Amino acid sequence: MTRHPPRHHWVVRVTHWVNTVAIVLMVGSGFRIFNAYPAFARRGETFCCWPWEGQGIPAWLTFGGWLAGARNWHFAMMWVLLLNGCVYLAFVYLRGEWRDLVPHRGDARDAWEMIRFYTFRRADHPRQGKHNALQKLTYFLLPLIALALILSGLAIWKPVQLSPLTALLGGYVWARYWHFMATLLLVALSAIHVFMVFAVDPYSMRAMTTGGYNENLSPESRNARPFTNILPRRRPAP
């Protein structure tokens, strides 16, 4: 029996799951911090761009128990994410795997074809490599969102010491708003990612745990849309 190399190196798998736990805890604790003052306008003022001023995040989505506890968890996970991200980025750069993630010429066309396939305007699954064009776009956006979170987070953490950065983001109120919006975008992309794993490619869970993956069960081989063709195709009886 021929042994195939793992689809994802163990470093990628470990950093992925560390990242998952850290992001869940950091987002939950961040929501708890937001609930301590669930508005963006200063007291007595109004804010243009958030129609739910004064409405907090549901308690079951928060983590940390109280403001001080949430801040401790938030900053602890910040360092975990920073170190974990540095390990992952260094690994994919040194191994050359970054080439599978950055956009290439034709990716916009391929992304449109994936959208056509998912909306039943195309019958056959577009050809893809390790990641389809929509996945590559998402993975490419994640470091940019992380950068926005880091810069805005620093601006509201040290608004006096880093006053030029805070001013660049529009002041403390706007820096806090950008931080929150980047968090919501990260949550949305993460939710879509989890949905697509279970709805389109549940067999990839094995690839992210043990590293194994059967290419015959890939979405391209199964011509899989969300919640369709979950089971592998059976060969017709002779």
> What domains are there in the chain, each with its CATH number?
1-100 (no CATH), 102-226 (1.20.950.20)
State mean pLDDT over 56-79. 94
Looking at per-residue pLDDT, the higher value among 135 and 229 belongs to 135
Structure tokens at 45: 């003022």
Residues 6+ apart with CB under 8 A from 165: 151, 154, 155, 175
Reported as a pLDDT band with limits 50, 70 and 90, residue 8 is confident
Q: Which two tokens stand for residue 55?
A: 């409405």
Q: How confident is the model at residue 3 (pLDDT cuts 50, 70, 90)?
A: low
Task: Flag whether pLDDT at 110 surpasses 90.
Answer: no
Q: What was the pLDDT predicted at 235?
A: 46
Looking up tokens 């006053």 gives: 163
pLDDT band for position 1 (cuts 50, 70, 90):
very low
Q: Can you give the pTM of this predicted structure?
A: 0.85
Q: Tell which wins on pLDDT, 216 or 18.
A: 18
Tell me: pLDDT of 58 over 90.
Answer: yes
> Among 81-90, 189-198, 226-235, which is the least confidently predicted range?
226-235
Lowest-confidence region among 22-26, 120-124, 155-159, 223-227: 223-227
pLDDT for 111 equals 87
Instruction: Quote the CA–CA distance of 149 and 167 in Å, as a whole number.
Output: 16
pLDDT for the residue numbered 231? 58
Mean pLDDT score, 178-194: 93
Give the C-alpha distances (Å, rounded to integers) separating 160 from 91, 102, 108, 149, 156: 35, 36, 42, 18, 9
The per-residue pLDDT for 233 is 53
pLDDT above 60 for 178: yes
Selection from 208, 193, 209, 205 nearest residue 137 by Cα: 193
pLDDT band (50, 70, 90) for residue 61: very high
Cα-based torsion angle of the residue sequence 219, 223, 227, 228 in order, rounded to the nearest 10 degrees: -150
Q: What is the pLDDT of residue 238?
A: 46
d(CA 212, CA 5): 8
Q: Tokens 């979170």 belong to which residue?
A: 149
Give the model confidence (pLDDT) of 198-236 as tens digits. Answer: 888 888 899 899 988 888 888 888 888 887 765 555 544
Give the span between the Cα atoms of 141 and 152, in whole angstroms: 17
